[in-house]
Amino acid sequence: MRVAFSPPKTSRRSGASVILLVVFLCAALAAVVSIPMVQARQARPVIEAIEPPIGDPGGALLVRGRNFGKERGEGTVEFDGAAVTSSSYLSWSEGLIQVRVPLYADSSLVRVVTESGRSNPRMFMSRSLLPSAPAGTGGQALGPSIESLSSDSGVMGSLLTIRGLNYGSNRGDSSVLFTWMGESAVQARTEDTGRGYVTPIAAFGEYESWSDKEIRVRVPDGAITGGVAVRTAKGTSQVRYFQVVDVPGSKSYLGRRTYALSTFVTISRVQSGGQNSLYLWMPFPVNSPSQQGVKALNRSVEPLFPDYRGLSAYKLGDLAPDSLTTVSQDYLVQVYGVETDVKPEKIKTPPAPVSSLYEVFTAPDALVPADNPALKAFAAKAVGREKNPYRIAALLHEALVATVQYDATAVAASSADALEAARADAWDMAILYTALLRAAKVPAVPVAGVVVDDALRAWNHAWAEFYVYGFGWIPVDPVLASGAIVGDFVPPFDDRSRYFGNMDDRHIAFSRGLTTVDRMAPDGNTVAALRRYSFQTIFEESGGDLPSYTSFWSDVEITGVY
């Protein structure tokens, strides 16, 4: 006997009503949660302008914008993170604040802080940092002096001509200093920490020419409105005001971690019967807008060249049979996190002629096979008709992580092989992404270094950066963005997609692009190495009567974090 039960029709309606009620309550709850979040973002204070951008400490400053609040309440105005005293506020309204500039504000990033959050920054520069005729101006001046700039404003990546005196017939160790967006403006005094300014990178083609009376230089990544100065061995010039304009978005350098680190190379099992030499090319952290204050703390052997293209060169002469030699070096580096907010629709095409950066970093080289047919075909399919460089980078990143899986044990003979195998380690992922970007005519560079876990262990790693005119270099870690794990490193970004365009302060870069090392002797025996924490053509070079030896290169050891 079969028995069937059918619920009453009223029960069906009742069940449907319950379901509708649950859906309604969920939607209402979501609205309750999301509406305040949206409102909070919309209510965050925004600074549109400050007047005057150049003034005197103690003078009045007008801060124009929106969402300041009708009354000050608990709101504050900060100069380089320090709030002014209550007596400094002259007036406060929804769109205008009048405040007295504190006496310590020689040059400062100004922000408005309310209960809804912190505003974007604007640069205030003290009039005392503007040019003044130094003693001895003219033919008797010893140090560098700026007489004029080709323009008092420019786009990041644009060409700036600096005219004046006593720059030297060639650049040598001299440099042009721009205000860095991560710190206060450049100072005329000697600065040995690397903080407060950013300099163009010669290897990136940002110094176009240098003579005793004229410098042609590109506005570098990391520069903001503030000052420009010239520094030579004879001193630093007065500071000229320069405004960085038309930035298609914003970039911030957040927090700061100071790392003490150590590396060493041990040479053993030496076989030799006469005179010999061994050169070691040991990398150290690169100087960049996100890595400042690189400083050698200790070296066990005096280097032949302390800084040769980002490497320290050591010469070991006449190694004795069965001798044991260790070369160690300790460094300090300050690492900042990078946060970007790019507005693709505001990106402009660079004017002709473009800087040599475009020529160098869209071309293939010994490390990046941007002309490989398979990679070019993959890039063309992923990009389609897109012309915007930021959107191209996003499309290529999306296509790469969807096609190639991270595998720390995968070792491919070439980037094309890694793409075909659909498996790659961090080394190949970084080079592969760079090659795809270059194939699509977007300047890009692979970066080698380490990531530091919570136990202060450094894991060899590689990632990439691409360049947008008017904005600068944008970091991408395709491995971490894909959700993969590198060793015991736990990414601080809960949202892994942030690794496209942003970077934490746990990445320490030792090379940006391939460092080409010249042989010391035409008949020297060179050693190259892959998948270390640096991209360089030569790590070791032996000469003379040195038929064999054993070398051991340590990983990076983190000896302290401050």
Burial class (CB in 10 A: 0-12, 13-18, 19+), 147: middle
For the chain, what is the mean pLDDT?
A: 88
Lowest average pLDDT, out of 105-119, 248-262, 424-438, 481-495, goes to 105-119
User: What confidence tens digit (pLDDT) does each residue in 284-334 have?
Assistant: 999 999 999 999 999 999 999 999 989 999 999 999 999 999 999 999 999
- Specify the pLDDT at position 226: 84
Residues 6 or more apart from 8 whose CB is under 8 A from it? none
Contact 154, 202 (CB under 8 A): no
The tokens for 389 are: 């460089």
Q: Which helix (H) or strand (E) holds 340?
A: strand 325-342
Which domains, from first to last, does the chain contain? 46-125 (2.60.40.10), 130-246 (2.60.40.10), 253-336+515-561 (2.60.40), 342-512 (3.10.620.30)
In sign, the C-alpha dihedral spanning 385, 391, 397, 399 is negative
Q: Which residues pair with 334 in a beta bridge?
A: 258, 292
User: What confidence tens digit (pLDDT) does each residue in 2-58 have?
Assistant: 333 333 344 444 454 544 454 455 445 444 444 444 455 568 999 988 998 888 888
In sign, the C-alpha dihedral spanning 426, 431, 432, 436 is positive
Instruction: Identify the band that residue 130 occupies on the pLDDT scale cut at 50, 70 and 90.
Output: low
User: What confidence tens digit (pLDDT) does each residue in 188-201 have?
Assistant: 333 433 347 899 99
- Specify the pLDDT at position 521: 86
State the DSSP code for 288: B
Helices 426-439 and 373-383 cross at an angle (nearest 10°) of 70
How many angstroms separate the Cα of 233 from the Cα of each of 174, 287, 293, 474?
7, 19, 19, 32
pTM score, whole prediction: 0.79
- Specify the pLDDT at position 141: 52
Q: What proportion of the chain, given as a percentage, has pLDDT over 70?
A: 87
Helices 426-439 and 389-403 cross at an angle (nearest 10°) of 140
